[in-house]
C-alpha cells in the first residue's frame, strides 16, 4: 500500500536529484496538443507514454508540456519536439507506441522519426 | 470522445484557462438510483450570465481565450444520450461548476474509462495547481487531494517522476476496492 511515509522518502530522494540537475543546460521540450480535438483523438495515452518512458529511462532535462489546438485537428494527436538549437519537429497521428519510439530515436539518439512527422503525413 | 473520463479531462482544461488554482473532479456512482454524476468545479474567474448562455452553442469560442468550443456541447450530448443532462453554474470571481448526470444502466452511456489517467495527466501537466479528486461508489469514497501531498512534499514539485509514480500507484490502489461499475 502506498503511504505518506513512502512519499516523504520520495521527497528526500527527489531533492537530491533536483539539486544534481540544477545548473545543467536548457533541455528539450515535448509539447502535446491537449485541446478537445487532441484529447478526442487520443492525446492522453500519448502524453502518459512520454511521461512514463522518460521516467523509465531516467532522462533528465526534458519537459513534457501541453498546448491547445494548433489548427491541424485532422493530424491529432500532435506532438512537437523542441530541442535547443534544432529545428522544431512536429509529429502527427501519434499513439503510445510511436511516443516510445520518438523517445528512443529522437530524444535519446537525436534522430527525428521522419515517417511520423506531419510533413511526411501531408505528402 | 470514447470515454467520459476524456470529457472530464477536456472540461478541466476550461477551468485551467479560467485561472483556477483548485479544480475539483468528482465522480459519484449511485447504483440504487441508477445514476452517475460527474462534476468539474473550479475557483477560476467564472462567467457572466451572457457568456453562460452562449456556452451551449458549439460555434461559440473565443480564439483569444479559448475558454470554450466543442468541449461543453460534446459533454452535454454524452449526458443527454444517456438519459441525463448537463448544468453549468458560474459566478464571476467565484468559479464555475459543470455537472453532468447519466443513467448508469443506459445502453448509450459511454464508459467512464480511465479516470486515473485523466487525474494523472492533469496533475503532471499542471503541477502548480491543486486538484481534488473524489470518487464515490455507493457510499464508499476514494479521495486524492494534491494540497495534502504538497504539504508532505514541501519544495519538491508534484510533477517529479518518482512523485508521479507514487500518485499513479495511489490512484490505482485507491480505485480498485471501489469496484466501479461505470
Q: Which residues pair with A30 in a beta bridge?
A: A64, A81
Q: Give the minimum alpha-carbon distance from A91 to chain B in angstroms, rounded to a whole number.
A: 19
**Residue B10: what pLDDT?**
95
The residue of chain A nearest to residue B170, with distances taken between CA atoms, is A2
**Model confidence at B153: pLDDT above 60:** yes
Q: Give me the residue label for grid cell 494548433.
A: A70
* Cross-chain Cβ contact B66/A69 below 8 Å: yes
Residue B10, domain CATH: 3.30.565.10
Substitution target in B11, B40, B125, B147 with the highest count of A β-carbons within 10 Å is B125
**Mean local confidence (pLDDT), B20-32:** 97
* Cross-chain Cβ contact B163/A14 below 8 Å: yes
**Mean local confidence (pLDDT), B139-148:** 97
Q: How far is Cα B10 from Cα B167, in angstroms, rounded to an integer? A: 21
Instruction: Please report which confidence band the pLDDT of residue A22 belongs to, taking 50, 70 and 90 as the band edges.
Output: confident
**Model confidence at B111: pLDDT above 90:** yes
**Mean local confidence (pLDDT), B65-86:** 85
**Model confidence at A1: pLDDT above 70:** no
Question: For A67, phi and psi rounded to 5 degrees?
Answer: -140, 175
**Mean local confidence (pLDDT), B149-170:** 94
**Residue B120: what pLDDT?**
96
- A66 alpha-carbon distance from chain centroid: 9
Q: Which positions in chain B touch A9 (Cβ < 8 Å)?
A: none
**Residue B16: what pLDDT?**
94
Residue B145: domain span: 4-178
Q: Which positions in chain A touch B156 (Cβ < 8 Å)?
A: 10-11, 14-15, 18
**Mean local confidence (pLDDT), B77-89:** 96
Looking at the domain A24-121, which fold is it?
A: Glutaredoxin (3.40.30)
- Asked if B73 reaches chain A (Cβ–Cβ under 8 Å), the answer is no
What distances in angstroms separate CA B118 from CA B3, B12, B66, B91, B146, one per listed residue? Answer: 11, 10, 20, 26, 14
Instruction: Please report which confidence band the pLDDT of residue B37 belongs to, taking 50, 70 and 90 as the band edges.
Output: very high
- Asked if B149 reaches chain A (Cβ–Cβ under 8 Å), the answer is yes
Instruction: Please report which confidence band the pLDDT of residue A123 belongs to, taking 50, 70 and 90 as the band edges.
Output: confident
**Residue B64: what pLDDT?**
55
Check residue A58 and give left, alpha or beta (phi > 0: left; psi -120 to 50: alpha): left
**Residue A81: what pLDDT?**
97
The interface predicted TM-score of the complex, written ipTM, equals: 0.89
**Residue B63: what pLDDT?**
52
Substitution target in B71, B162, B167 with the highest count of A β-carbons within 10 Å is B162
The residue of chain A nearest to residue B154, with distances taken between CA atoms, is A11
* Cross-chain Cβ contact A48/B169 below 8 Å: no
**Mean local confidence (pLDDT), A103-122:** 95
* Cross-chain Cβ contact A44/B117 below 8 Å: yes
**Residue B179: what pLDDT?**
87
**Mean local confidence (pLDDT), A51-62:** 91
**Residue B61: what pLDDT?**
65
**Residue A70: what pLDDT?**
83
Type and span of the H or E element at A55: helix A43-56
**Residue A60: what pLDDT?**
84
Residue pair A113/A91 in contact (Cβ under 8 Å)? The answer is yes
Tens digits of residue pLDDT in B57-73:
777 665 555 555 788 88
Average pLDDT of the residues of chain B: 92
**Model confidence at B13: pLDDT above 70:** yes
Tens digits of residue pLDDT in A63-99:
999 998 888 999 999 999 999 999 999 999 999 999 9
**Residue B55: what pLDDT?**
77
Amino acid at each position: 500500500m502506498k503511504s505518506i511515509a513512502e512519499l516523504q522518502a520520495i521527497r528526500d530522494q527527489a531533492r537530491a536529484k533536483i539539486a544534481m540537475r540544477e545548473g545543467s543546460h536548457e533541455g528539450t521540450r515535448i509539447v502535446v496538443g491537449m485541446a478537445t480535438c487532441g484529447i478526442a483523438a487520443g492525446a492522453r495515452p500519448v502524453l502518459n507514454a512520454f511521461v512514463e518512458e522518460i521516467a523509465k529511462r531516467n532522462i533528465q532535462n526534458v519537459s513534457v508540456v501541453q498546448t491547445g489546438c494548433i489548427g491541424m485537428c485532422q493530424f491529432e494527436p500532435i506532438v512537437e519536439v523542441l530541442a535547443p538549437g534544432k529545428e522544431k519537429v512536429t509529429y502527427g497521428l501519434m499513439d503510445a507506441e510511436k511516443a516510445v519510439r520518438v523517445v528512443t530515436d529522437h530524444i535519446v539518439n537525436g534522430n527525428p522519426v521522419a515517417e511520423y512527422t506531419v510533413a511526411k503525413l501531408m505528402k | 470522445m470514447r470515454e467520459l473520463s476524456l470529457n472530464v479531462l477536456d472540461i478541466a482544461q476550461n477551468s485551467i484557462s479560467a485561472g483556477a488554482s483548485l479544480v475539483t473532479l468528482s465522480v459519484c456512482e449511485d447504483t440504487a438510483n441508477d445514476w452517475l454524476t460527474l462534476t468539474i468545479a473550479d475557483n477560476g474567474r467564472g462567467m457572466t450570465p451572457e457568456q453562460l448562455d452562449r456556452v451551449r452553442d458549439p460555434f461559440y469560442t473565443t480564439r483569444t481565450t479559448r475558454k470554450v468550443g466543442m468541449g461543453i456541447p460534446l459533454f452535454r450530448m454524452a449526458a443527454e444520450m444517456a438519459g441525463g443532462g448537463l448544468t453549468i453554474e458560474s459566478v464571476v470571481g467565484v468559479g464555475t461548476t459543470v455537472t453532468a448526470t447519466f443513467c448508469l444502466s443506459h445502453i448509450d452511456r459511454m464508459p467512464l474509462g480511465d479516470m486515473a489517467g485523466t487525474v494523472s495527466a492533469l496533475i503532471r501537466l499542471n503541477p502548480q495547481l491543486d486538484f481534488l479528486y473524489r470518487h464515490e461508489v455507493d457510499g464508499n469514497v476514494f479521495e486524492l487531494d494534491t494540497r495534502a501531498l504538497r504539504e508532505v512534499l514541501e519544495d519538491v514539485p508534484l510533477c517529479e517522476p518518482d512523485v508521479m509514480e507514487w500518485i499513479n500507484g495511489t490512484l490505482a490502489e485507491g480505485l480498485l476496492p471501489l469496484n466501479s461499475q461505470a
